Amino acid sequence: MSGKTSTASKRLYNEKAYDRISLVVKKGRREELKAYAESKGMSINGYINKLIDEDMKTADKE
């Protein structure tokens, strides 16, 4: 059974395990990003994290 306790537990876990970063894009761009990420089999969050990881690996080699 799912309820307030389950939601509260998930929220507490997420607060402990993850940092949040807010991203602002122009109106309409979110749907474009979502469609593109989904075409790659990812969420927007997954896609952005992948791009950051790849860029940081490239920067380490420079």
DSSP output for 18-46: ---------TTHHHHHHHHHHHTT--HHH
pLDDT, position 62: 73
Q: Which domain holds residue 53?
A: 25-62
Is residue 15 included in any domain, yes or no?
no
Is residue 37 included in any domain, yes or no?
yes
Is residue 3 included in any domain, yes or no?
no
pLDDT, position 5: 85
* Cα–Cα distance measured from residue 38 to residue 44, given in angstroms and rounded to the nearest whole number: 8
Is residue 50 included in any domain, yes or no?
yes
Is residue 36 included in any domain, yes or no?
yes
Q: How many domains does the chain have?
A: 1
Is residue 62 included in any domain, yes or no?
yes
Is residue 6 included in any domain, yes or no?
no
Q: Does residue 22 contact residue 30 with C-beta atoms inside 8 Å?
A: no
The tens digit of pLDDT for each residue in 1-55 reads 556 789 999 999 999 999 999 999 999 999 999 999 999 999 999 999 999 999 9
pLDDT, position 2: 57
Is residue 9 included in any domain, yes or no?
no
pLDDT, position 59: 85
pLDDT, position 45: 96
